[in-house]
Chain A
Amino acid sequence: MDKYSTSLDTIFHALADPTRRAVVQRLAKGPAPVKELAEPYDMALPSFMKHLNVLEEAGLIASKKQGRVRTCSFNPDKLEAAEKWFDEQRALWASRFDNLDTLLSSLQGGNDET
C-alpha cells in the first residue's frame, strides 16, 4: 500500500501547474520519452525535468532509463481511487435525494411534483 500513502496535498500540488497537468494528460495516452514530452514547451530541459520530478514524487508518473533514453509512463492508481470515491459520494447523495422526493410527495398527499 506504500504507493498510495502519498497525501493528496502532494498530488494536488503536482497537478496545480498547467504544464504538469498537460504532461499527465499526454502520458495517459501512453508512455513517452522525456525528449518528446519536453518538445512542446518553451523551457530549458532542466526546468522541464523539475516538473517531471514533482510528478514522479507524487506517484503520478514513473520513469525508467534505457541507454540514454528516459521514458515516462502514467501511474493511474491514485487518481482512480480519488475519482471512484467522488463518484460513489455523488451516487449516494443522488439516491438519498430521490428517496426524499418520494417521501415529500407522499407527505403532500401523493401529488405529483409541480
Chain B
Amino acid sequence: MKPDLRFNFIADMQKGTLTVRREFAAIRQLVWDCYTKSELLDQWYAPKPLTTKTKSFDFREGGHWHFAMIDPNGTHYWSRTDYETITPIDGYTGYDSFTDETGIANPDLPRSHLAMTFTDQGKHTLTETVVTYNSAKDLQTVIDMGMEEGLTSTLERLDELLLKLDQ
C-alpha cells in the first residue's frame, strides 16, 4: 500500500503526547469551519462506522462542545471539549474529557489537553493536532482501558514499536 505522505502520526510516550499532522485540499477558512461549527463537525468527527451527535455547542473561550459518538449498535460514547483559547483562523486550544450524557466528566478517566493549529499550504491547509496527557500515568490509564477490549497484538511488530520509542 502506498504510504499517505499527507498524514503524519507521532507518539511520544515519554512526554505523553500524540502529534497528528494532515493536509487537506481546501482553503483554511473552510477547514476551520469544519472544526468549529457543530453542523459540520457532526458530519465527520466520529471515525467510521460511528456517527457524531452534538448535544450542545458553544464555540468561545470558556465554552464547550458536548457530543456523543454513536456506534452501529446505538451505544453512545459521550465526550466534551472545553475551549480554552481561540484565535480564528489560526488555531485553538482546549481540554477533552470523557463524560456522561449530562456532560459531567468521568473522574476516573484522565482528560487531555488539545492544541489545534491551521496553516496555509499553497491552496491547501495543513492541520496539526497535539494531544497531551498530564503524565505517563494518565496515558497508562487510557491504555489499560483500551486493553480491556482484548489483546491481539503480535510480537513481530515489537521492532517497530521500539523504533518509535527510540525517537
Contact = CB atoms under 8 A, between A and B. Distances in A.
B151 A99 contact: no
B139 interface: yes
A68 to B, nearest CB: 29
B147 A84 contact: yes
Interface residues of A, number: 44
B146 A85 contact: yes
A8 B31 contact: no
Nearest to A113: B25
Contacts of B34: 100, 103-104, 107
Contact of A101 (B24, B147, B162): B24
B48 A7 contact: no
A73 to B, nearest CB: 12
A51 to B, nearest CB: 16
A79 B40 CA distance: 37
A47 interface: no
Given A96-B44, A108-B30, A84 B153 contact: yes
Interface in B20-38: 20, 22, 24-26, 30-31, 34
A12 B136 contact: yes
A56 B75 CA distance: 40
A45 interface: no
B144 A81 contact: yes
B158 A82 contact: no
Interface stretch (B10-18, B56-64, B86-94, B101-109): B10-18
A42 interface: no
Contact of B159 (A25, A84, A102, A105): A25
B9 A88 contact: no
Q: What are the 6 tightest A-B residue pairs by CB atom distance, in nearest-first order?
A: A95-B47, A99-B44, A8-B136, A80-B153, A113-B25, A104-B26
Interface of B: 4, 7, 9, 11, 13-14, 18, 20, 22, 24-26, 30-31, 34, 40, 43-48, 123, 129, 136-137, 139-140, 142-144, 146-147, 151-153, 155, 157-159, 161-162, 164-166
